Amino acid sequence: MNLTVNGLAREVESGPLTPLLRVLRDELGVHSPKVGCEQGGCGACTVVVDGAPRRSCLLPVGGLEGAEISTVEGLGTPDDLGVVQQAFTHHYAAQCGFCTSGMMMAAQAYVDGGGTDDREAIQEALAGHVCRCTGYVKIVDAVAAVARGDSFDLTVTAASAGMTSGGDLQ
Amino acid sequence: MTASEVLVPTTADEAVAAFGDGAGVTVIGGGTIVMPEITYGRLRPSKAILLGRAGLAGITRNGSTVTIGATTPVAELAGLPAPLGPCAANVGDPEVRGQATVAGNLCAGQGLAAPRGDLQGPLLALGAVVRSVGPGGERSEPLESFLPERESRLILDVGYEEAPAGAWVCLDRPHTHDYTALAVSAVRASDGSVRVAATGVAGHGVRLPSAEINADDPEAAGAAATADVTFEDDALASAWYREQTLPVLVRRALAGLKEAS
Amino acid sequence: MKAVGARLPRYDGVAHVTGRTVFVDDVRVPGTLTVKALRSPVHHAGISVDTSPAEQMKGVHAVVTHADVPLNVYGHLSGLGIPGDEPLLAEDDVRYKGQPIAIVAAEDEDTANEAVAAIKLDLDERPALFDLRKAFDPDAPKIHHWGNWYPHFENEMDRRQIRKGDIAWAFDHADVIVEGVYRPAAIEHVPLETQVCQVVPEPSGRLTIYSCTQALYFSMGVVAAHLQVPLNKLKLVGGTVGGGFGGKVDTATETMCSLAALKSGRPVKWRWTREEEFLCSSTRAPWHMEIADAVTKDGWILGRKMLTLHDAGAYARFSPYGLTKHSFHHTGAYTIPNLEFDGYVVFTNRVPTTAMRGFGVTSVSFATETHMSRIANVLGLDPIEIRLKNANRIGDTSPNGIVYSDPSTVATIQTIAEAIGHELPAAYRTTTSAKREGEWLPEHLVAQLGNPEDH
């Protein structure tokens, strides 16, 4: 069957009952969605399917002929970060990073759908996503910042922060 | 994760034909219930039907009759009046209920560790009628008589008459990945009759006739309702806890109904 | 201190937000076999195992049991005086539901699962113990070869014991005895990334082990000890952990995967399912703590009797170490001059418990602080004033006789009081951590004073 992943047409050979998560990770080499529970309970596998955020562990690929899938790889690159990626970086919204992919795709879908910086609305939209590290506050800060249209200065380094140089701390 | 046959019907007729009498068939709507079972090796379908593209989704209105297609996402019901709306809004989280289907929810088997099929409660209280196919062909019947056979039939749609007043109360769940341990739906139909139903009791959702005949006295109705259900322990709550809280939920639902009228 | 307060980039920040952080399951090596484990379905039993049906199955490249382990005992804290008691893979018996008995490395997940299901496992079930309070009953089932509680503290003591001052005097002179029982339950770490390991057998004879461990060098030592190989035979790659919180120090997968890689000659990967993570991974321990404080009606704590039972689960792992830390802290931030403390590491037929943030100390902090509030309630005194009264000061001594030279307790409590708008009387607002004198030095605290220079 055929899918579009981050704008690229991909041919899929995995069986039709294979979850999209496994297709992305094991067949197509798209590793940003993570295996957290494979039961739909944690949100680490969330990707955007035809504009809507969905748990890829729950989607049999056979029902996705022609679907357009967006993942973190499509949000931006280290040299050209997308705005959600910038916000998550600026606001320290990631610690171990394992929930981050799912959170960002849910966040992207939320702001693309007109979501505001109302914290309760953001929490409701991300309610299915578990983070064991951050306590969620900085994640909500990051999403609110995107919704508000904030811009981010990510050029600060150890040197510019006034630390004496003594090694490459960038 | 392999099955000998996986069908993706593109029309309702194709879906019906694929289902046949349902023997040996696994139906996958949104996948939220079935896919984890497959992933964890508890279910190995020999024949599976992916229903998402068979054109069975959508809510239509004909006068005061509301008809909900089988694969309508649960999320689409969230804006409807109580009891159905708030119940749907409380299923999973936005992603799960955006993908889960109404029919999948109604047909969920009894959960191993927690109750499933939240929508059964509101639709029982609404006097919903289910149109399904399976052994014996197509038939329409009240949800009550459908539920015992829910795992062997394929729902096409479910319909109900809009009601002047409804209420839904539940035990709050700690997180969106939890199921709801106990919930009560109450509806006053346009002929004035009151129907009350509960989910989170043993088996599947059930009407509470003892509460219904006492509908004018919410306190008495709550006390009487425990006679209508069997309580069991599960991972979410003990039978004892449910027995303590059901009367409270019934009382609140009926009080809410009185206020809404 | 130029970094404190500065806005610095995380070294892994950009990788996290671009999906490029390589967690162990993102490491992809061609030809990798999938590992699954046969785990005990019961809490306590004698076992015998026949793995031949799995070994003969098409697609299975290795089945590993205790017989394949050069040193099967998990004695990783022997350097700290804690002997090993836990097999890497079960041999004659199993002592917790989920205990690994054998592992299979196969071409794919379905084959690995089928092979595990095909292994013949005979069980001779034995009575199990779950309530740690019952471990001391004469008719309690015997569930550990050392007895039902850990007997190998220094001088072969079977408990951590602290005696200080004269507890009988304290209890004779108290106005009230305040008792409390505190029983925090087990807690799962629930890292978003489950336990996972990839091992690659190198042509040179070394093993490359991609590990999610929180403690790379420690795990390296554990693997080397089990395999009886020098450290330079192992290359551990890691430091990228999808959440650990203390639960990824047990080295729960690395050795077994190494054995599977050696036996099959192929790379292997073992990723625990979420169900496995919940049911079989180690947890923070449940504790049972009983405190009885001898107190005066104006809020001095003259003495404390305390009994702690720490639920180690089926094997000792790090529990003796956790209990030891707990013991030092059993008076919390407060100076109590007369002490009778006994703490036991008790075995039950549960998954062995392990470290989790604040290992050993969070339990006693919870108990101590709750008990202070309980005392305040019983005496009708202000809960913050009673804490300031008894708070550690310079020159006070800890339960095991260490003299405090710079405790920050008083200032911390005062800061909290101000932050929450809790009015304190003048003396409590102005008292400091300076050595006790005047109203802050009742007669019964004189003997415990020490010289802070001795710290």
Residue among B176, B77, B174 nearest B126 (CA): B77
Per the document, the length of chain A is 170
Q: Which CATH number does the domain A83-148 belong to among 1.10.630.10, 1.10.10.10, 3.40.50.300, 1.10.150.120?
A: 1.10.150.120
pLDDT tens digit string along A18-65? 999 999 999 999 999 999 999 999 999 999 999 999 999 999 999 999
When CB atoms are compared, the residue of B2, B6, B35 closest to A57 is B35
A2-74 has which fold? Ubiquitin-like (UB roll) (3.10.20)
Residue A164 has pLDDT above 60, yes or no: no
Taking CA C22 as the corner, what is the angle to CA A93 and CA A70, rounded to the nearest 5 degrees? 65
C109 touches A at CB < 8 Å: no
Give the HSE-up count for residue C387: Cα atoms under 13 Å, Cβ half-sphere.
Answer: 25
Quote the ipTM score. Answer: 0.94
Q: Answer yes or no: do B1 and A17 touch at CB < 8 A.
A: yes
- Please state the domain count of chain C: 2
Which helix (H) or strand (E) segment holds residue B245: the answer is helix B239-260
The last residue of one of the domains, among C280, C296, C314, is C280
C203 in the same domain as C232? yes
> What is the pLDDT confidence band of residue A159, given thresholds at 50, 70 and 90?
low
C410 in the same domain as C337? yes
- Would you say residue C2 lies in a domain? no
Token match 């209920």: residue? B97
The gap from C-alpha C97 to its chain's centroid, in whole angstroms, comes to: 19
C449 in the same domain as C314? yes
Q: What is the pLDDT of residue B142?
A: 98
For residues C129 and C313, give the distance between their C-alpha atoms in angstroms, rounded to a whole number. Answer: 10
> What is the pLDDT confidence band of residue B110, given thresholds at 50, 70 and 90?
confident
CATH number at residue C182: 3.30.365.10
CATH number at residue B181: 3.30.465.10
C14 touches A at CB < 8 Å: yes
Report chain C's mean pLDDT, rounded to a whole number.
96
Q: What is the pLDDT of residue A170?
A: 40
Q: Which residues of C touch A161 (CB under 8 A)?
A: 2-3, 6-8
Q: What residue ranges of chain A are covered by domains with CATH 1.10.150.120?
A: 83-148
Q: What is the pLDDT of residue B232?
A: 87
List the chains bordering chain A where 3 or more Cβ pairs fall under 8 Å. Answer: B, C
Q: What is the pLDDT of residue B112?
A: 76
Q: How far is A90 from chain B (nearest CA, A)?
A: 26
Q: Answer yes or no: do C273 and B40 touch at CB < 8 A.
A: yes
Restricting to C residues 107-126, those with a Cβ less than 8 Å away from any Cβ of B are 110, 113
C97 in the same domain as C34? yes
Q: Which residues of A touch B177 (CB under 8 A)?
A: 40-42, 128, 130
Which helix (H) or strand (E) segment holds residue C311: the answer is strand C301-313
C156 touches B at CB < 8 Å: no
A135 touches C at CB < 8 Å: no
The gap from C-alpha A29 to its chain's centroid, in whole angstroms, comes to: 16
C320 in the same domain as C368? yes
C378 in the same domain as C301? yes
When CB atoms are compared, the residue of A37, A78, A96 closest to C14 is A78
Q: Answer yes or no: do A98 and C15 touch at CB < 8 A.
A: no
CB neighbour list of residue C287: distance below 8 Å, 6 or more residues apart:
C182, C183, C184, C308, C309, C310, C311, C363, C367
Q: Answer yes or no: do C190 and A132 touch at CB < 8 A.
A: yes
pLDDT tens digit string along B143-172? 999 999 999 999 999 999 999 999 999 999
Residue A168 has pLDDT above 70, yes or no: no
Neighbours of C393 (CB within 10 A): 23
What is the SS3 string spanning C338-382?
EEEEEEEEEECCCCCCCCCCCCCHHHHHHHHHHHHHHHHHHHCCC
What would the mean pLDDT of A75-95 be, rounded to a whole number?
96
C372 in the same domain as C243? no
C380 in the same domain as C263? no
DSSP B73: B
Q: What is the pLDDT of residue A162?
A: 58
- Please state the domain count of chain B: 1
For A168, B212, B244, B255, the CA distances from B216, given in Å and listed in that order, are 76, 9, 21, 9
Q: Answer yes or no: do C8 and A35 touch at CB < 8 A.
A: no
What would the mean pLDDT of B120-142 be, rounded to a whole number?
97
B52 touches A at CB < 8 Å: yes
DSSP string of C103-158, one letter each residue: EEEESSHHHHHHHHHHSEEEEEE------GGGGGSTTSPP-STT-SB---BGGGBS
**Which of C34, C36, C108, C110 is most worth mutating to test chain B (most B CB atoms within 10 A of its CB)?**
C110
For residues C372 and C331, give the distance between their C-alpha atoms in angstroms, rounded to a whole number. Answer: 10
Task: Report the residue of chain B nearest A122, measured CA to CA.
Answer: B94
Those residues of chain C that have pLDDT short of 50 are none
List the chains bordering chain B where 3 or more Cβ pairs fall under 8 Å. Answer: A, C
- Would you say residue C19 lies in a domain? no
The last residue of one of the domains, among C280, C298, C324, is C280
The last residue of one of the domains, among C250, C280, C310, is C280
Q: Answer yes or no: do A76 and C189 touch at CB < 8 A.
A: no
Q: What residue ranges of chain A are covered by domains with CATH 3.10.20.30?
A: 2-74
Q: Which domain holds residue B80?
A: 5-260
Give the HSE-up count for residue C454: Cα atoms under 13 Å, Cβ half-sphere.
Answer: 10
Q: What is the pLDDT of residue B1?
A: 46
C69 in the same domain as C53? yes
C108 touches A at CB < 8 Å: no
For residues B38 and B28, give the distance between their C-alpha atoms in angstroms, rounded to a whole number. Answer: 11
C303 in the same domain as C417? yes
C178 in the same domain as C71? no
pLDDT tens digit string along A103-135? 999 999 999 999 999 999 999 999 999 999 999
Q: Answer yes or no: do A132 and C243 touch at CB < 8 A.
A: yes
DSSP alpha helix (H) spans, C189-348: 216-227, 254-264, 274-280, 319-328
C422 in the same domain as C301? yes
DSSP B179: P
A96 touches C at CB < 8 Å: yes
Q: Which domain holds residue C235?
A: 27-125+189-280
Restricting to B residues 27-46, those with a Cβ less than 8 Å away from any Cβ of C are 40-41
CATH number at residue C265: 3.90.1170.50
Q: What is the pLDDT of residue C6?
A: 78
Q: Which residues of A touch C17 (CB under 8 A)?
A: 72, 81, 84-85, 88-89, 94, 100, 104
